Amino acid sequence: MPPLEREFQYTQEDFQRVRLLLKSLSGINLVETKDSMVYSRIASRVRYLKMTKVSDYLAFIERDEEELQHFVNALTTNLTSFFRECHHFEQLEKFVQSGEKVNRIWSAASSTGEEPYSIAMSLVRLWDKFDIPVQVVASDINSHVLQTASTGEYELESVKSITDKKRFFFKGKGKCEGLARVKPELRNLIEFRQINLLNATWPIEEKQDVIFCRNVMIYFEKEQQEALLVRLLSKLRKGGMYIAGHSENFSQFAHLMSPVGRTTYIKN
């Protein structure tokens, strides 16, 4: 690390402290090569607080809960898009069409909302109406992305490929030019909750019919992934559908769930 080139003092020890803290708070296991990424993500917070050393910032977050949330928000990776891995939405549609009961769906690491809105759009298309008997819960550890998701405002560019976008979004005008806003009928199908998957309990009372938990386990260590999968399955009804991210393969859990498509499983 070349400290002289940086605006704030940042040592290898600081980076190791960040790694430990983030892992204990969120499960995210930052690899050794991410030191520069960590610096660039938290530098704006250090600047905002008018501090000069990352070590002072790390001492501060230990006694300031609000800043601790900013720290987690800064270090999560929130990449997502509408209908990302579109085969999963096709699987969901097939599942509903097969006559399965689908009233509760949990999008367990929903980031900025594109995933739960894609789920809701798929269902509205299927029933051809907004008044459907489905509640989608969208959750994430990151309070900032949840706020974005709840507002439902996106760059027009990001909804470009949604052919029936007029049904689901208002096109921004004037100072909202270039933006698309989710219509309230779609927004009302989703409930946003802040949930840390690492917490011992989750505010998910009822068994779910479908759980999307995509592209978050990849940040966790193997043992943690396995323990989390077992806990998520305890929130899924027997015969319910579990949908994982493209690089999350759970073939070793054949006793708990059976594959029915690409990274899509049915709970045994």
- Which residue numbers are catalytic? 41, 140
Helix (H) or strand (E) holding 155: strand 153-155
- Asked if 220 and 28 touch (Cβ cutoff 8 Å), the reply is yes
196 is in an annotated binding site: yes
* DSSP structure class, residue 47: H
Which part of the chain contacts ligand SAM (CB under 6 A), choosing from 8-16, 36-44, 140-148, 151-159? 140-148
| Nearest Cα residue to 71 out of 48, 93, 94, 95 | 48
Asked whether position 209 contacts ligand SAM by CB under 6 A, the answer is no
DSSP lists the bridge partners of residue 250 as: none
C-alpha span between 97 and 101 (Å, rounded): 10
115 is in an annotated binding site: yes
Size of the site for ligand SAM (CB under 6 A): 23
Name which position in 77, 150, 151, 158 contacts ligand SAM (CB under 6 A): 77
Asked whether position 140 contacts ligand SAM by CB under 6 A, the answer is yes
| Nearest Cα residue to 198 out of 64, 108, 136 | 108
19 is in an annotated binding site: no
Asked whether position 145 contacts ligand SAM by CB under 6 A, the answer is yes
Name which position in 197, 236, 241, 257 contacts ligand SAM (CB under 6 A): 197
C-alpha span between 142 and 195 (Å, rounded): 9
Fill in the amino acid letter for 237: R
243 φ/ψ angles, rounded to the nearest 5 degrees: -120, 120
**With respect to ligand SAM, which residue has the nearer C-beta, 76 or 225?**
76
80 is in an annotated binding site: yes
Annotated binding site: 78, 80, 84, 115, 140, 196-197, 214-215
Q: Which parts are annotated binding residues for S-adenosyl-L-methionine? A: 78, 80, 84, 115, 140, 196-197, 214-215
The residues of the shown chain that bind ligand SAM, judged by CB under 6 A, are 26-28, 76-80, 84, 109, 111, 115, 140-142, 145, 196-198, 214-216, 245
